[in-house]
Amino acid sequence: MKTVLLNSFRALHPKYCFQFGRNKLSDKTIFHASVRAASNIKRSKYPQNVDLPPILPKNKKKPYPIPLKTIQRAARADKKLAEKGIEKHLEPPKNGLLVPDLIPVAHEVLEAWKRLIKGLAQLIDIVPVYGCSHCTEVHVGPVGHLIQNCLGPSNVNRRSLHEWVRGSIDDVLNPTESYHLFDPFGHRVKHDTRFRYDRIPAVVELCIQAGVDLPLYPSRRRLVPIRMLGKKVIDRGGFVDDPEPLVGPIPPSCLGLDTHGIHRSADPPALPASLV
């Protein structure tokens, strides 16, 4: 490849050259052809070899799930309808009504969530899980690793080594909680009133608002849709006070919804008959 390029340029007149800014390309210049590395081809062939996205700083704004231009276009259309006195058309669940096709899906998701928690509790009793007491690192196995990548406090004194302690189900299934709202379209949660609401797993709250009825966490079900004119709600069916909390034993349908303390009471899985 190099010889062909060099001979082709030597065939030109010796005094002929190409002008590239301030540099001149003469007949003695040698061109190097770039060849794509075989490692890049191999990495693109297997999806698991793709590098993870970089960790962005906390002060950097995350991208919009919906493009900003689409949001602005929809806002302008709503403003024009409001100026004409035309109500905004809302589809379920934005109008407060349930989506009938999603109700069985919500029940399936909630049952799968319960099975996931119960299964993880059984696995942790057999397979040890360790978590660092200074950072969020988790290791699955009989002995914690010796990689020096701890970023917790006083990591300099420990030479960035982890201090492993026995982990729980929360180390494997990172709990994400959300406020439970009796009426998602009612009063908003304020800073001063945040302790009046229960915090439950976000998966459970998602299933409740999709149509699952749990006695421990009641939810308001509307029969008349919400009406909006532009950004203003003109009819939400009034405000309803939250019902009194349930008194008495917890119903069976509300057991196993979160991971608090479940790993301490989970029974280990039974061994196969061939190993007994």
pTM of the entire predicted model: 0.67
In this prediction, residues 12-28 reach a mean pLDDT of 48
d(CA 53, CA 41): 19
- The model's pLDDT over 180-210, given as tens digits with 9 standing for 90+, comes to 999 988 888 999 999 989 999 999 999 999 9
Please give the DSSP secondary-structure letter assigned to residue 69: H
The residue count for the chain: 276
Reported confidence tier of residue 139, pLDDT bands at 50, 70, 90: very high
Domain ranges of the chain: 2-49, 100-124+173-265
Q: Is the pLDDT of residue 179 over 90?
A: yes
What pLDDT does residue 7 have?
A: 52
Q: Which amino acid belongs to residue 131?
A: G
Q: What is the pLDDT of residue 22?
A: 47
pLDDT at 17: 46
Q: How far apart are CA 167 and CA 62, in angstroms?
A: 31
Structure tokens at 263: 């790993």
- 179 token code pair: 């406020």
Average model confidence (pLDDT) for the chain?
79
Helix/strand/coil for 147 = coil
Amino acid at 191: H
Mean pLDDT of the region 214-226: 90
Q: Name the DSSP letter for residue 211.
A: T
Query: How many Å apart are CA 183 and CA 108, to the nearest integer?
Result: 23
Distance CA 265, CA 122 (A): 10
Give the count of alpha carbons within 13 A of 239, CB side only.
7
Residue 207 · residue 253 · CB < 8 Å: no
> What percent of the chain is predicted at pLDDT more than 90?
37
What SS3 class is residue 170?
helix
Beta-carbon contacts of 202 under 8 Å, excluding residues fewer than 6 positions away, are 176, 177, 178
Contact 95, 221 (CB under 8 A): no
- pLDDT of 59 reads 81
Residue 75 CA, distance from chain mean position: 27
φ, ψ for residue 80, nearest 5 deg = -65, -40
Contacts of 89 (CB under 8 A, 6+ apart): none
Residue 132 φ then ψ, to 5°: -75, 135
Alpha-carbon distance of 87 to 78, in angstroms, equals 9
Neighbours of 132 (CB within 10 A): 22
